[in-house]
Amino acid sequence: NSNTLAHVALIPSAGMGHLTPFLRLAASLVQHQYCQVSLITPHPTLSLAESELISRFCSAFPQVNHIQFHLLPFDAATANATDPFWLQFESIRRSAHLLSPLLSSVSPPLSAVICDMSLIYSVLPVTKSLSLPTYILFTTSARMLAFFSCFPIVHGFPTASENYASFDGNVLEIPGIPPLPRSSISPMLLAPNSLPAKILMEDNSILTKLNGVLINTFQGLEGETLEALNNGKVIKELPHVFPVGPFTPREFERRDQSGAALKWLDDQPADSVVYVGFGSRTALTRNQIREIGDGLLKSGCRFLWVVKDKPVDRTDEEGLDEVLGHELLDNMKEKGLVVKTWVDQVEVLSHKAVGGFVSHCGWNSVTEASYCGVRVLAWPQHGDQKINAEVVEMSGLGMWMKNWGWPGEDVVKGKEIGEAIKELMSNESLKTSAAAIKEAARKAGTGVGGGQEASFKRLINEWNK
């Protein structure tokens, strides 16, 4: 009976990497009838992919109450960033006070709010004034959560509550988990006045006021880190961390465009194709893109490559001819398929022909690879991605060429890329360990008493109080 169910509002932030896990969470909550859901999405969205995904979600789940939250005009020149997605985070943060009338007027009254991790500082004052229990969905790794919990000490500032980590300028030592080298921290987070550093610092300052942290990870991938977080080894008074991953990819995410790619995969031998994709918001330089093309040819492997030339899809207009050049494009036709459209990544990763994944290590990509048991060649590009690449390497899900730097450092040459891909595709022990992670992922997601189910049960108890 829906009248007796708790009612929870979900507030995602910007970008497919943040929206997708929120919608997968919403789908789980309503499908298992754990609670009623209101979905509050910032409007307008930055990318077309986001607005299309929201519409497909709403058609698939009409029982979810969708509310658009209209953003105030925002002057990007007043924020210290150029990345359009960070600017959109800031725009949402600055409009967050407008959530108050929305949250107080939904019916039946809300039991709790789950917002994006980038909105803690701006949403918590609103939800606290309405006495609403407030949770975040942390859309990246538990290792990144451990880092985020200690983040201020990297800049010599105190954390939200007593912390047990130390930073000597080179290595961040966090009790209970392997040390985190400075080289894994994104330059934009090391720059003290950048917008990303400011957002993390502000969010950290009230982290302990949250009622809990939901996270898209699971025991078999990050058991040690989850243990450290929940046993108070990282910071004192860290709210409980609920592993609710890996989220199940859903039917509503599918788009028609990938038909050709999937059809092409049907004609390839099992475990023979490497899939190359750098997520929804990372555009490599043209030089680097062409070196990847050269590397794929040199690897001798079959490949499916999604090329992205601009961070925001609405402006990604140049054809493949222009981005890759005729000659390279022509040479690639024999062994591979190169596309510039969105593909259904989970469908691709689940295809029997696909054995390896060259990934930027956006957290959704990592969890999708683990869900499908596809070994990863980690090639982090920005933000949390080197920290996620450490998880990929330590868990056995894949390999990481640590000497490939952040973009802006040296372009990685085709020869090296080709060799790394060859290694990824031929390494039997990686194949076995990735398959073991898939098994752990399926157990965490569906097994009775698995981490996910136990987390949801505990949450529902809290929401029904």
Among 5, 6, 12, 18, binds ligand BUP (CB under 6 A): 18
For ligand BUP, the binding residues in 224-263 under the rule CB under 6 A are none
Q: DSSP secondary structure string, 147-197?
A: HHHHHHHHTT---SS-B--EE-SSEEE-TTS--EEGGGS-HHHHSTTSHHH
**Candidate ranges 162-170, 177-185, 276-284, 419-427; the one touching ligand BUP (CB under 6 A):** 276-284
Query: What whole-number distance in Å separates Cα of residue 82 and Cα of residue 86?
Result: 8
> Could you give the C-alpha distances from 376 to 265, 366, 373, 398, 426, in angstroms and in order?
18, 8, 9, 4, 12
**Candidate ranges 34-42, 237-245, 296-304, 336-344; the one touching ligand BUP (CB under 6 A):** 336-344
**Candidate ranges 39-47, 70-78, 153-161, 359-367; the one touching ligand BUP (CB under 6 A):** 359-367
Total chain residues near ligand BUP (CB under 6 A):
22
Measure the N-to-C terminal CA separation of the chain; round to a whole number of Å: 17
Which CB atom, from 247 or from 404, has the smaller least distance to ligand BUP?
247
The full length of the chain comes to 465
Query: What whole-number distance in Å separates Cα of residue 250 and Cα of residue 27?
Result: 8
Q: Give the nearest distance from C-beta 100 to ligand BUP in angstroms.
A: 27
Among 6, 9, 16, 172, binds ligand BUP (CB under 6 A): 16
> Could you give the C-alpha distances from 104 to 153, 377, 460, in angstroms and in order?
37, 46, 21
Check binding of 15 to ligand BUP (CB under 6 A): yes
Q: DSSP secondary structure string, 38-102?
A: EEEEEES-SSHHHHHHHHHHHHH-TTSEEEEEEPPP--GGGSS---HHHHHHHHHHHHGGGHHHH
Which CB atom, from 17 or from 133, has the smaller least distance to ligand BUP?
17
Q: DSSP secondary structure string, 373-442?
A: T-EEEE---STTHHHHHHHHHHHTSEEE-TTS--BTBPPPPHHHHHHHHHHHHH-HHHHHHHHHHHHHHH
Among 50, 116, 222, 368, binds ligand BUP (CB under 6 A): 368
Q: Give the nearest distance from C-beta 90 to ligand BUP in angstroms.
A: 15
Q: Give the nearest distance from C-beta 61 to ligand BUP in angstroms.
A: 18
Instruction: Give catalytic residue positions.
Output: 18, 116
Query: What whole-number distance in Å separates Cα of residue 91 and Cα of residue 93?
Result: 5
Which CB atom, from 341 or from 464, has the smaller least distance to ligand BUP?
341
Check binding of 20 to ligand BUP (CB under 6 A): yes
For ligand BUP, the binding residues in 382-441 under the rule CB under 6 A are 383
Check binding of 90 to ligand BUP (CB under 6 A): no
Which CB atom, from 135 or from 357, has the smaller least distance to ligand BUP?
357
**Candidate ranges 76-84, 120-128, 364-372, 429-437; the one touching ligand BUP (CB under 6 A):** 364-372
Check binding of 344 to ligand BUP (CB under 6 A): yes
For ligand BUP, the binding residues in 303-322 under the rule CB under 6 A are 306
Which CB atom, from 133 or from 246, has the smaller least distance to ligand BUP?
246
134 close to 113: Cβ distance less than 8 angstroms: yes
Strand partners, 405: none
**Candidate ranges 107-115, 259-267, 275-283, 403-411; the one touching ligand BUP (CB under 6 A):** 275-283
- For 120, list phi and psi in degrees, rounded to 5: -50, -55
Which CB atom, from 261 or from 332, has the smaller least distance to ligand BUP?
261
Check binding of 365 to ligand BUP (CB under 6 A): yes
Check binding of 336 to ligand BUP (CB under 6 A): no
Q: Give the nearest distance from C-beta 2 to ligand BUP in angstroms.
A: 30
- Dihedral, CA of residue 428, residue 432, residue 438 and residue 444, to nearest 10: -150
Query: What whole-number distance in Å separates Cα of residue 307 and Cα of residue 318?
Result: 11
120 close to 96: Cβ distance less than 8 angstroms: no
Among 13, 141, 280, 370, binds ligand BUP (CB under 6 A): 280
Q: Give the nearest distance from C-beta 384 to ligand BUP in angstroms.
A: 7
- Helices then strands, counting H and E runs in the chain, come out as 19, 16
Check binding of 17 to ligand BUP (CB under 6 A): yes
Among 247, 363, 400, 404, binds ligand BUP (CB under 6 A): 363
Among 7, 281, 351, 375, binds ligand BUP (CB under 6 A): 281
Q: Residue 313 in 3-state DSSP?
A: helix
- Binding positions for ligand BUP, rule: CB under 6 A: 15-18, 20, 277, 279-282, 306, 342-346, 362-365, 368, 383
